[in-house]
Structure 1
Amino acid sequence: MSTSRPILIIEDDAALRTTLAEQLALDGSFAADQAESAAEAEAKLAIDGARFDAILLDVGLPDGDGRDLCAKLRRDGLRMPVIMLTGADAEADVVRGLDAGANDYIAKPFRAGELLARVRAQLRVLDNSEDAVFTIGPYLFRPAAKLLLEPARNRKIRLTEKECLILKYLYRAGSKPVARQVLLNEVWGYSSAVSTHTLETHIYRLRQKIEPDPTNARLLLTEGGGYRLNPAEKQAVAA
């Protein structure tokens, strides 16, 4: 089972924007949201709990230059991959886009398969970099460092490799429950002979680390024959 990763498409050409969203959906690995302007994109990014794993960004937007928007996102601390889409493919244009903080730069017209491959490549780089930071409840999750940081209490929680993999997969699932066997296969491998008891033991240990009351889990829930994260518990868990 793969979990769809949220992608924000910022493009003023409605036909191209729709085509990109359809191609992402057909791939099965992504879920696309759309914005036709820099202002709309910033509004979507500012929504509480908003999450986008990557951005496809047109250079020519009706209310500004996409490169300026990219630079602003970087100043605001956003580190998801940004792939610029543009008809301006001169060397100076490419350099300006990359200097603004873009991870990749693709000239129009482009092949959908190549674009999807580049998105996947950028996500692989992010997931294994020190820049990968995910918000889980009151915590900032840094998989590369195997750490959960709780800024409100100035606390660090060290995680094992398997705990990191469990949290990453549940995070990718959003608020959807992940069946025990699916999670077991994804974390330990399809050829592994380990039982669901092993997974349950790791979940128990995770709850001991992250739940204020492990006997009354509110962040890492048991549901639908599996487990899910409850992102709405940010304030409740932090209190």
Structure 2
Amino acid sequence: MPGPRPILIVDDDDTLRQLLVEQLKLEGEFDPIEAASVAEAKEKLAVADVRVDSIILDVTLPDGDGRDFCAELRRQGIRMPIIILTGSDDEADVVRGLDAGANDYVAKPFRIAELLARLRAQLRLFENSEDAVFPIGPYLFRPSSKVLQEPAKNRRIRLTEKEAAILKYLYRAGHRPIARQVLLNEVWGYNAAVTTHTLETHIYRLRQKIEPDPANASLLLTEGGGYRLNPEGSETLMS
């Protein structure tokens, strides 16, 4: 299974925020990050190398309007899904939130199961959108276009569909190694004609494309009977 996905919850209602944290952690699918104000949310997002896959954002915060904060994030080029929570389901209120750049709008009180379903749906849509960009070592990975960009060298590496799918799944897994058979099934499906040798061949070719030294992998590691992506690259291995 993929590793837990970091979700920033911005809400000054301690009871509701704690409930959301508990529910998000329940299945091990998400890793909630808490903020009780706009200022605190900005601090969380400003942490070096922070990864946030989505934001659940309340409208009424002690130091600002969540919709204004959403619009500010969009102006900064932040594209991950943002779901706004509000005490009002008035049409004009909803339109204002969507116009601010929110992907979805959920009125309180709401069912936790419905919120989680909407969150998952938005994450799926985002991963397949042109806006999805994941940092991997010196690269910016764009799954939708199957491209790795290396800004420092101003070059682009084109990936095959399977290579992009391998990177995407390993990135989702965080720092956990994924067994060969699991990765094979996720990328190729349960196809009896495809063996782990096929996967190993794709891993070899992928390393030739992305590793500074393919013989000493620092990004795509062999570990625990499978493979693990090290998005921070060689710097992490040397630290």
TM-score of Structure 1 vs Structure 2, range by shorter chain: over 0.9
Residue 88 of structure 1: CA displacement?
2.3
Change (3 A) 1:192 1:101: farther
Residue 155 of structure 1: CA displacement?
0.3
Identity of aligned pairs, percent? 72
Change (3 A) 1:70 1:23: same
On the 8 A contact 1:185/1:192 being kept in 2, the answer is no
Residue 125 of structure 1: CA displacement?
1.0
Distance in structure 1 (CA, Å) of the matches to 2:234 and 2:76: 21
Instruction: State the partner residue of 1:216.
Output: 216
TM-score of the pair, normalised by structure 1? 0.94
SS in structure 2 at match of 1:162: helix
Residue 235 of structure 1: CA displacement?
5.9
Change (3 A) 1:113 1:141: same
Instruction: Number of aligned residue pairs: give it.
Output: 237
Q: Identify unmatched segments of 5+ residues in structure 1.
A: none
Change (3 A) 1:231 1:85: same
The one-letter code matched in structure 2 to 1:17 is R
The one-letter code matched in structure 2 to 1:67 is R
1:101 aligns with 2:101: yes
* 1:54-65 correspondence runs (5 A): 54-65=54-65
On the 8 A contact 2:218/2:234 being kept in 1, the answer is no
Residue 47 of structure 1: CA displacement?
1.3
Instruction: State the partner residue of 2:160.
Output: 160
* 1:24-39 correspondence runs (5 A): 24-39=24-39
Residue 191 of structure 1: CA displacement?
4.0
SS in structure 1 at match of 2:93: helix
Residue 27 of structure 1: CA displacement?
4.0
The one-letter code matched in structure 1 to 2:150 is E
SS in structure 1 at match of 2:26: helix
Deviations 1:187-219 (A, max 9, x none): 111344311111111111111000111001111
Deviations 1:107-164 (A, max 9, x none): 0000111111111111111111111111111111111111000011000000000000
Deviations 1:62-83 (A, max 9, x none): 1111111111111111110000
On the 8 A contact 1:58/1:86 being kept in 2, the answer is yes
The one-letter code matched in structure 1 to 2:72 is K
Instruction: State the partner residue of 1:14.
Output: 14
Deviations 1:171-191 (A, max 9, x none): 001122111111111111134
Residue 10 of structure 1: CA displacement?
0.7
Distance in structure 2 (CA, Å) of the matches to 1:234 and 1:70: 34
Instruction: State the partner residue of 2:4.
Output: 4
Q: Identify unmatched segments of 5+ residues in structure 2.
A: none
* 1:63-212 correspondence runs (5 A): 63-212=63-212
Distance in structure 2 (CA, Å) of the matches to 1:44 and 1:37: 11
Instruction: State the partner residue of 1:231.
Output: 231
Distance in structure 2 (CA, Å) of the matches to 1:55 and 1:234: 30
Distance in structure 1 (CA, Å) of the matches to 2:173 and 2:49: 14
Change (3 A) 1:231 1:216: same
Residue 28 of structure 1: CA displacement?
3.9
